[in-house]
Amino acid sequence: MQIAMVGLGRMGANMVRRLIKAGHECVVFDVSPENIAALVKEGAVGASSMEEMIGKLRAPRSVWLMLPAAITGKIAREVAGHLQPGDTIIDGGNSYYRDAVDLAREFEAQNISFVDVGTSGGVWGLERGYCLMIGGPKESFDRLEPIFASLAPGKDGTGAEAGSGDTAPLGYLHCGASGAGHFVKMVHNGIEYGLMAAYAEGLNILKAADAGSEARAADAETAPLHDPQYYQFDIDVGGVAEVWRHASVISSWLLDLTASTLKTDPELTNFGGKVSDSGEGRWTLRAAVETGVPAPVLSSALFGRFASRDADEYSNKLISAMRYAFGGHSEKH
Amino acid sequence: MQIAMVGLGRMGANMVRRLIKAGHECVVFDVSPENIAALVKEGAVGASSMEEMIGKLRAPRSVWLMLPAAITGKIAREVAGHLQPGDTIIDGGNSYYRDAVDLAREFEAQNISFVDVGTSGGVWGLERGYCLMIGGPKESFDRLEPIFASLAPGKDGTGAEAGSGDTAPLGYLHCGASGAGHFVKMVHNGIEYGLMAAYAEGLNILKAADAGSEARAADAETAPLHDPQYYQFDIDVGGVAEVWRHASVISSWLLDLTASTLKTDPELTNFGGKVSDSGEGRWTLRAAVETGVPAPVLSSALFGRFASRDADEYSNKLISAMRYAFGGHSEKH
Amino acid sequence: MQIAMVGLGRMGANMVRRLIKAGHECVVFDVSPENIAALVKEGAVGASSMEEMIGKLRAPRSVWLMLPAAITGKIAREVAGHLQPGDTIIDGGNSYYRDAVDLAREFEAQNISFVDVGTSGGVWGLERGYCLMIGGPKESFDRLEPIFASLAPGKDGTGAEAGSGDTAPLGYLHCGASGAGHFVKMVHNGIEYGLMAAYAEGLNILKAADAGSEARAADAETAPLHDPQYYQFDIDVGGVAEVWRHASVISSWLLDLTASTLKTDPELTNFGGKVSDSGEGRWTLRAAVETGVPAPVLSSALFGRFASRDADEYSNKLISAMRYAFGGHSEKH
Amino acid sequence: MQIAMVGLGRMGANMVRRLIKAGHECVVFDVSPENIAALVKEGAVGASSMEEMIGKLRAPRSVWLMLPAAITGKIAREVAGHLQPGDTIIDGGNSYYRDAVDLAREFEAQNISFVDVGTSGGVWGLERGYCLMIGGPKESFDRLEPIFASLAPGKDGTGAEAGSGDTAPLGYLHCGASGAGHFVKMVHNGIEYGLMAAYAEGLNILKAADAGSEARAADAETAPLHDPQYYQFDIDVGGVAEVWRHASVISSWLLDLTASTLKTDPELTNFGGKVSDSGEGRWTLRAAVETGVPAPVLSSALFGRFASRDADEYSNKLISAMRYAFGGHSEKH
């Protein structure tokens, strides 16, 4: 079927490629003419403006947005201004699910459907397919199912046929009313933060397993290491990540990627350790707090990212200041 | 090759089955005669006592222990009392790696090798193979490699041939000196706790996504829910677990198992929510603390298990008591 | 000066008493006639309706609300409907600071001032005075300062004179624009949760210091306790809380209250351990998350309260289910 | 009474001063002759070697050690080598309570008593007195009580008379058998870490209350700040710390010190934010883990210190590496 794609970054461009491959007709627009041109070469229909793009669509029109969360609402309203009753806007970005709830209600007045699609799969989605978590009216889901089915992995990664009924095993799911798709994707990312931190903490402990080999200062500001004979291991962290991939309880796709990275860059020299977060982990935590659900692991993972960017600096200075004030302790480092 | 197995519980018995299938000769002993008899039927050589078992072994003898951590040391010493110089004891249980360091040193005086093998794979290992993390002298590893290779998954789950050099992709790895195998397995389990808690917290948030549908009390003891319109989702948690298995970033074996369980028991009626821990998570945390490595996610996961068993009761009572003392707040629940 | 008080619960009634004692004129209203009658006996002017109350006030009128957060906004708007330009509404409850920001803007159009006052001190405030964190226009703060000064502890607990300039050492502070008072009180309560949990966790560890005296099961589901000889202490938790009050680094008012409670109820038999939270800890966490500030201690304290009310049950069941699925582990408890 | 003091650092020297003032006879030794000379001027009896020091003591001798944890055991054994049956060694440092359990048993064979004294009060103890948590035989406690009573604050900070029975209100307590004193002090410090972190996190949130005033990048790597109008506060953190000291629920001695520091150095320019830990927080966590007591707040506080010293760097790099591997995300910072 025909669909328009706005936003041809990493994710948007590959989704277009996958849809073209599956025989769909894609009209594409982006602020960068180069991004448009690249996809036109691969079979997409280019448009040099939002109006032109919408002009090339047949009713009922479907416009898929793949944009940063901070601007999605603004662009969605702009698109809606050009659409007709019966048309549909799909937001496949990492948007806040509350915006989907609000936008859906707002566009309902114009009889424009709003569908929120949480999209997981990253740069690998082109090849493996995208896991899709979908919110919005059931009719919209049904009408767009051929698109979802093609983007999803299906049985073997090459996409599925629409209309199978139980779609979860094919990699796409209608999760509920407007907002449900982004809500589920939000929690997906919250879990993702937790999983990543669990592996990272564990591998960091493996790396420190030789702590008993070094001498420690014997002063009142340094915790002594009792029994250094138990910390004399020199562990090949990358080898361990690889072996764990094979039949261990903690095998996962994130572990596959970690082992692969450690193979080529065992010291992770390409990374500085300042970890970004794009909002979903924060929103997950807010949902946990507001619904009264304990989420100590997910919050620890999020706060670890904040701290990696030194947002704990003032807090740490305060603690040093207290130590100095009561005990005369000066910082060693 | 020939090997003796002591401890024919869930793990030990299946390992014997897998070894027999690969053509190895297994002499088996357990405190339960039934457990022995069952394996004899499947081709194992039974022994009704430790002495008898060891008497049936040819030098150099190899005795594999698959026992609860609390008794492994005692039994290892008992076995060692019957062995000869050049023989080997292998501990494949969830033992503390420090015991391996100590036992290896102790048995060295008798010229008996001690090899510690962290074993992951659970009840699925018989079919999928076991992921093996191995510590001890390189010569012992080399001599026992045919056993490790058969227990490991290999390329397709049916085990590997020994002698391939890079063994991690086959599912077994020599991690270092005595204790290194159990150390790596300990951290594996620490990570496992973290992963499980990350999924569980996230799915719990999904379950609470309908919190806005219920009325909340409007008193000073109850946190108000602003904007209940954003918590009106009725999410099929099992369906979500299933769809995430397909090309999402958080796909994993633990997620496979979770989705499978939710399919047959969506309300988890078979479980009471008192989560045991068998020691490895605790030891991981101790290692983190002693080496000065932050492990907030892994510790949160561990403490969540303690709290599930109500070990936080006195602490919670103290907090209620303080609230009453300063604010006259009475408990609502 | 003259002031009206709406809401004569624990906090509101005592604040009226303290104001009367300092010579202020208090017009009081509450949904409960008994609460009104009690204060009339002590010198307050009673009113049987909101209108009557406001009718008894001289311009510029000042109405102080001391109500649950969930209804404060509604009542504030009702009061505003009866007021005149130049009048002031003060919210001294545990309201959300965002409501103060919004209400201040809303009432500005009517030329009614809105002042938000975070109030700490609990049931002890009558005697010790209340710590006041105040947000809103500086002119409103100045005009109401005699009230704040009387409610505050001052130098000796009996209140202060207005107009001293540096008011923080007297126990009241103009923290900034509308919302700043409740923002600071919100964070105060967030910290309060953290402090309470820190003491509670520590005292719980003291209570468990005899863990080595009991036998532990030696099975694969129970973590062994190495070296039980180090956990043979039978510690008088109440005695320790008392001794810590005297010149230790952790002496505090919360510790005073804790020691006092443990003296009369060492086993805390009056408490069940289901800890409420009234919203401020949640809002603190939201602020931390949205501003990107790590708050692992404050969040752990909040989530501990959620878990005390069994909001972790589904999560724990999921973890038990996973353990059963991969390892055949059955719950022991 | 007569007592020897070994270790004349910050703590030891001030304790000697306080004891001299109370009329006790102090024989002092330290590796630094300057430290000895300074105290001799103030009335102590100096000794230029351990032997000389012990030679100046009358039986039954009492030797108090005030040394870094890492060397206390070694020095204690050296001292014991010079003592006679019936003599007593007191360890007042931040030693591991397990060492006290072991040393007490070891010295018992020589009929030398070993008393462990947890000492809180820091550099303020000279003036305010020291809070003492004491472990060891009751007879030793009774014999040394005049010393404990003088070091403790007593009713007014100037020390107490021995023999009052209920000593906790005077600031010293016999907590139980050998090790109990250091165990209680260990937990005291664990709590101290939690309290400090709670204040520091909260004040850090106050400092970030102007986050809405700055523009944020609108890209996929940056979490958007919804509703920046709610983060426009410019809060005087020092003023808030001061006002909280007066009748708020969170008033404490640590808050007193914090307010005082912020008054003279509001930007904490004297501190770099690398926070040391001296071992007690780690041991507290180990005790929690081994006894199965949840301690999420205390562990978060400890791990925050580790992270302040960049011990999370490898972990953070791993997370960045995973983000790049699945999503092509590059680090922004």
How do residues A177-208 score in pLDDT, each as one tens digit?
999 999 999 999 999 999 999 999 999 999 99
Of the pLDDT bands very low, low, confident and very high (cuts 50, 70, 90), residue B312 is very high
Per residue, what are the HEC states of chain C? CEEEEECCCHHHHHHHHHHHHCCCEEEEECCCHHHHHHHHHCCCEECCCHHHHHHCCCCCCEEEECCCHHHHHHHHHHHHHHCCCCCEEEECCCCCHHHHHHHHHHHHCCCCEEEEEEEECHHHHHHHCCEEEEECCHHHHHHHHHHHHHHCCCCCCCCCCCCCCCCHHHCEEEEECCCHHHHHHHHHHHHHHHHHHHHHHHHHHHHHHHHHHCCCCCCCCECCCCCHHHCCCCCCHHHHHHHHCCCCCCCEHHHHHHHHHHHHCCCCCCCCCCCCECCHHHHHHHHHHHHCCCCHHHHHHHHHHHHHCCCCHHHHHHHHHHHHHHHCCCCCC
Facing residue for A293 by CB, picked from C290, C295, C311: C311
| Paired sense of beta strands C45-46 and D131-135, if any | unpaired
Residues of D in contact with B310 (CB under 8 A): none
Query: A214: which 2 tokens?
Result: 């070094």
CA distance A173 to A167: 6
CB nearest to B293's CB, from A208, A294, A297: A208
Q: Which residues contact C79 (CB under 8 A, 6 or more apart)?
A: C6, C50, C54, C63, C65, C89
Q: What is the pLDDT of residues C31-69, one digit of tens each?
A: 999 999 999 999 999 999 999 999 999 999 999 999 988
Amino acid identity of residue B167, one-letter, is T
Q: Which chains touch D (3 or more CB pairs under 8 A)?
A: A, B, C
**Interface contact A295-C303, CB threshold 8 A:** yes
Please report which confidence band the pLDDT of residue D171 belongs to, taking 50, 70 and 90 as the band edges. Answer: very high
Question: Which residue has tokens 């982006």?
Answer: A30
Cα C83 to its chain centre, rounded Å, is 29
CA distances from D199 to A312, A315, C293, C328, D301 (A): 13, 8, 13, 44, 11
**Residue among D36, D99, D108, D113 at smallest CA distance from D69:** D99
B201 vs A236: CB contact, 8 Å cut-off? no
Helix C180-207 with D280-291: angle, nearest 10 deg:
60
**pLDDT above 70: residue C333:** no
pLDDT in tens, B187-233: 999 999 999 999 999 999 999 999 999 877 767 778 878 899 999 99
Q: Which of the pair, D49 or D123, is modelled with greater confidence?
A: D49
Partner residue opposite C275 with nearest CB, options B10, B200, B316: B316
Both structure tokens of A234: 């020199």
**Mean pLDDT, chain B, integer:** 95
Helix, strand, or coil here: A299?
helix
Active-site residue (options: B25, B106, B192, B242)? B192
How distant is the Cα of C261 from the closest Cα of chain B, in angstroms? 7
Mean pLDDT of chain D: 95
pLDDT at B333: 58
Pick among C249, C290, C306, C324 to test the A interface (most A CBs inside 10 A): C306
What distance in Å separates the CA atoms of residue D74 and residue D83, rounded to the nearest whole number?
A: 15
With tokens 């007490």, the residue in question is D104
d(CA D271, CA A325): 12
Which residues face D5 on adjacent strands? Answer: D28, D64
Catalytic residue set of C: 185, 192
Q: Closest CB to B240: pick one of A98, A184, A291.
A: A184
Q: Which residues contact B45 (CB under 8 A, 6 or more apart)?
A: B25, B26, B27, B28, B56
Give the global pTM: 0.96
Model pLDDT, residue A333:
58
Nearest by CB to residue A307, choosing from D224, D312, D323, is D312
Is D199 in Cβ contact with A314 (below 8 Å)?
Answer: no
Each residue's pLDDT, cut to its tens digit, for chain A (333 residues) gives 999 999 999 899 999 999 999 999 999 999 999 999 999 999 999 999 999 999 999 999 999 999 988 899 999 999 999 999 999 999 999 999 999 999 999 999 999 999 999 999 988 999 999 999 999 999 999 999 999 999 999 999 999 988 878 999 999 999 999 999 999 999 999 999 999 999 999 999 999 999 999 877 767 778 878 899 999 999 999 999 999 999 999 999 999 999 999 999 999 999 999 999 989 999 999 999 999 999 999 999 999 999 999 999 999 999 999 999 999 888 875
Instruction: Map residue A326 onto helix, strand or coil.
Output: helix
CA distance A91 to A101: 12
Determine the residue type at A235: I
Q: Evaluate if residue C100 carries a pLDDT over 80.
A: yes
State the DSSP code for A5. Answer: E
What is the distance between the alpha carbons of residues C300 and D296, in angstroms, rounded to a whole number?
Answer: 6
| One-letter identity of residue D186 | M
Both tokens of residue C319?
A: 């973890």
Q: Are B106 and B131 in contact (CB under 8 A)?
A: no
Q: Within 10 Å of residue A3's Cβ, how many Cβ atoms?
A: 22
**Per the CB < 8 Å rule, is B279 touching C333?**
no
Instruction: Check whether D316 has a pLDDT greater than 90.
Output: yes
- Continuous segment of H or E residues that includes residue D65: strand D62-65
Shortest distance between the Cα of C241 and any Cα of chain D, in A, equals 9
Give the integer Cα–Cα distance in Å for A240 and A235. Answer: 8
- Where helices occur in A4-137 by DSSP H, the ranges are 10-21, 33-41, 50-55, 69-82, 97-108, 125-128
- Chain D partners within 8 Å of B302 (Cβ): 289
Which of these CATH numbers, 2.170.190.11, 1.10.1040.10, 3.30.565.10, 3.40.50.1100, describes C186-235+272-327?
Answer: 1.10.1040.10
pLDDT tens per residue, range B121-139: 988 999 999 999 999 999 9
Given phi > 0 = left and psi -120 to 50 = alpha, else beta, which region is A122?
A: left
Question: Domain-by-domain residue ranges, chain B?
Answer: 2-177, 186-235+272-327
Percent pLDDT > 90 in chain C is 89
pLDDT at D266: 93
Nearest-neighbour CA in chain D from A96: distance (Å): 10
Of A308-312, B93-97, D129-133, D327-331, the poorest mean pLDDT is in D327-331
CB atoms within 10 A of CB B66: 25
* CB within 8 Å: D304 and A321: no
What distance, in Å, lies between the first and last C-alpha atoms of chain B?
A: 63
What pLDDT does residue D333 have? 58
Cβ pair A331:D275 closer than 8 A: yes
Query: Among all chains, which residue has been given the structure tokens 């030696």?
Result: C218
Residue B221 pLDDT: 77
Searching chain B, which residue's CA lies closest to the CA of residue C266?
B318
Residue C280: what are its φ and ψ, rounded to 5°?
Answer: -65, -35
Closest CA to C96 of C304, C282, C291, C306: C282
Which residues touch B287 (CB under 8 Å, ≥6 apart)? Answer: A205, A208, A209, A231, B183, B186, B187, B293
Instruction: Check residue C108 and give its pLDDT.
Output: 96
A268/D324 Cα distance (integer angstroms): 12
pLDDT at site A226: 84
Query: Distance from D70 to chain B by nearest Cα, in Å?
Result: 14
Alpha helices in A208-312 (DSSP H): 237-244, 253-264, 280-291, 296-308
Cα torsion through D257, D259, D261, D262, rounded to 10: 160
CB atoms within 10 A of CB A145: 21
CA distance A85 to A112: 5
Q: Known catalytic residues of A? A: 185, 192
- Hey, are the CB atoms on B303 and D294 less than 8 Å from each other? yes
User: pLDDT band at C217, cuts 50/70/90?
Assistant: confident
- Cβ within 8 Å of residue D188, ≥6 positions away: C202, C244, C248, C249, C250, D118, D120, D133, D280
Task: Tell me how far CA of residue C82 lies from CA of B268, C61, C86, C91, in angstroms.
Answer: 55, 11, 12, 16
Tell me which fold the domain A2-177 belongs to: Rossmann fold (3.40.50)
Tell me which residue has tokens 């090759």.
B1
* Number of cross-chain residue pairs from A and D with Cβ atoms under 8 Å apart: 251
Q: Which helix (H) or strand (E) holds B62?
A: strand B62-65
D216, D276, D280, D283: best to mutate for the A interface, most A CBs within 10 A: D276
The C-alpha atoms of residue B3 and residue B27 are separated, in whole angstroms, by: 6
Kindly provide the ipTM of the predicted complex, given to two decimals.
0.96
* DSSP code per residue over D225-290: -S-GGG------HHHHHHHHTTT-TT-BHHHHHHHHHHHH-TT-TT--S---B-SHHHHHHHHHHH
pLDDT at D116 over 80: yes
DSSP label at D94? S
The owner of tokens 């590997």 is B160
* Chain A residues inside the 8 Å CB shell of B188: 202, 244, 248-250
Does residue D273 have a pLDDT over 80? yes
Percent of chain A with pLDDT over 70: 99
Burial class (CB in 10 A: 0-12, 13-18, 19+), D175: buried
Chain C partners within 8 Å of D273 (Cβ) = none
Backbone angles phi, psi at D269, to 5 degrees: -65, -15
